[in-house]
Amino acid sequence: MSVQTSMQAVLKSVDKPVAIAFVFILVMLLAGSLYSSSFLSANYLLQQLQVAAFLGIIASGVMLVILLGHIDLSIPWLVTVGGMMSTAAAGWWGPEWAIPFGVFCGLVFGLINGLGVAILRVPSMIFTLGINAVAQGVMVLHTGGFAPQDHATKLMHWLAVDRSLLGIPNAVFIWAIIGIAVVVLLKRTPLGRYIYAIGNQEAATFLSGVNTKAVLIACFAISGMCSAMAGVLLAGYSNKGYQAMGDPYLLPAIAAVVLGGTHILGGRGSYLGTVAGVILISLLQSILSVMQMPEAGRQIIYGCVIIAMLLVYGRGQKVQS
């Protein structure tokens, strides 16, 4: 009896979407292991986590923005800004400047996103698209005007590729640190409460005396920093920063957050869900590439899986009044 009630308590504390996402992960691993036994090896799983870490870092920032009921479509070029500016800074002022400057550039663009959405009240969808275009323009100018260094520093390479403690990739530790920071932010600080509150009813939050503008700006700034940080690591991973390196990350990042049960209109969602979503997406990509599926089939299956999973648990309410 007591075992049963504690089981129920545990089940209750986990959201339905999160639980379903984890079940999907298990099913995919099992299906993969039927195809090749290496799917359940520790090495393969750690490798998946390493690749997932880049997406996970981006998704951490995007999740905060989505919880507000907004969206950040500037991810692709903010990732690129992070990668390219960090390598360039290493060339200009020395390797120790690489990571701080890369993340700083992401912060600047994130702040502009926040200012546009919070102060000018331009819909985030279109404003962040505009910032994405501006960031692209800046990067084109940056590579064309003069020849900046595009090689990653040793530290960036070490962080992205090496495994130092217990054979766990360093990138996973960085994701864990950022993840814990986001969880603490959401659960233990007033800012976290305000984020959920704004996602539910911005006007009510404003009337309660919360500085809603500051909250919006802070979240977009964090999202910009996270994207840039992922860009720094990606540059370390492939040993160089290059144009359009962030392009493949927009759909996966948003999909991961939404598949993890965060409501796209804001106000609801847990970080555990985002973790599940990130792992799910990375695993799906990995299985499709192991099966040597051509790009066309990959895109089709990828889109269909996202729709299918959302149909299982992401459906909205029927409008009745």
Partner 1 sequence: MKDLKLRLGQSQGVLLAILVFVLMFTLYIANHPAGLTVPVATTAANKAVLLALVAMAQTLPVLTGGLDLSVGMIFIMTNCVASSLVSGDPWQVAVGIVIVLLTGALAGFVNGAIVVYGRLQPIITTLATGAVYYGIALLLRPVPGGEVDEDLADIMTYTVFEVVPTSLVLLLAVVVIIWLPFRNSVIGRGCYAVGSAEGAAYMSGVSIDRSKLAAYTLSGLLAGVAGLMLTFITFSGEASAPIGGTYTLNSIAAVVIGGTSLYGGTGGAIGSIFGAFILRTIDDLLFVFDLPPLWQPLFQGVVLLVAVSLGAARVFRIRNRLELFK
| Amino acid identity for residue 311 in this structure | L
In this structure, which amino acid lies at residue 197?
A
Which of these segments, 3-11, 29-37, 91-99, 290-298, binds partner 1 (CB under 8 A)?
Answer: 290-298
- Return contacts of 27-31, CB within 8 angstroms, 24+ apart: 28/280, 28/283, 28/284, 28/287, 29/283, 31/287
Which of 170, 185, 263 is closest to 225 using CA atoms? 185
Residue 291 near partner 1 by CB under 8 A:
no
Judged by CB under 8 A, does residue 299 bind partner 1?
A: yes
Q: Tell me which of 21, 135, 218, 233 binds partner 1, using CB under 8 A.
A: 135
End-to-end Cα separation, the chain, in angstroms = 43
Nearer to partner 1, 39 or 302 (CB): 302
| Burial of 5: CB neighbours in 10 Å, binned 0-12, 13-18, 19+ | exposed
Inter-residue contact 241 to 83 (CB < 8 Å): yes
Nearer CB in complex with partner 1: 145/167: 145
Q: CB of 278 within 8 A of CB of 171?
A: no
Single out the residue of 246, 227, 230 nearest to residue 110, CA to CA: 227
**163-222 positions binding partner 1, by CB under 8 A:** 202-203, 206-207
Binding status of residue 298 toward partner 1 by CB under 8 A: yes
User: Would you give the binding string for partner 1 spanning residues 9-38, x where CB under 8 A is met?
Assistant: ------------------------------
Stretch touching partner 1 by CB under 8 A, among 10-18, 87-95, 251-259, 279-287:
251-259
Give 90 or 255: the residue with its C-beta nearer to partner 1. 255
120 binds partner 1, rule: CB under 8 A:
yes
- Least CB distance from residue 153 to partner 1, whole Å? 26
Question: To the nearest whole angstrom, how small is the minimum distance from the Cβ of residue 308 to partner 1?
Answer: 9
Using CB under 8 A as the binding rule, whether residue 122 contacts partner 1 is answered as yes
Is residue 49 within 8 A of residue 177, CB to CB? The reply is: no
Nearer to partner 1, 22 or 206 (CB): 206
> Does residue number 311 form part of the binding site for partner 1 (CB under 8 A)?
yes
For 168, the 3-state DSSP assignment is strand
Which of 60, 86, 136, 223 touches partner 1 (CB under 8 A)? 136
What is the rounded CA–CA span in Å between residue 88 and residue 92?
6
CB 101 within 8 A of CB 219: no
Amino acid at 111: L
**What residue ranges bind partner 1 (CB under 8 A)?**
71, 116, 119-123, 125-127, 129-138, 140-141, 144-145, 202-203, 206-207, 247, 251, 254-255, 258, 264-265, 294-304, 306-307, 310-311, 314-321
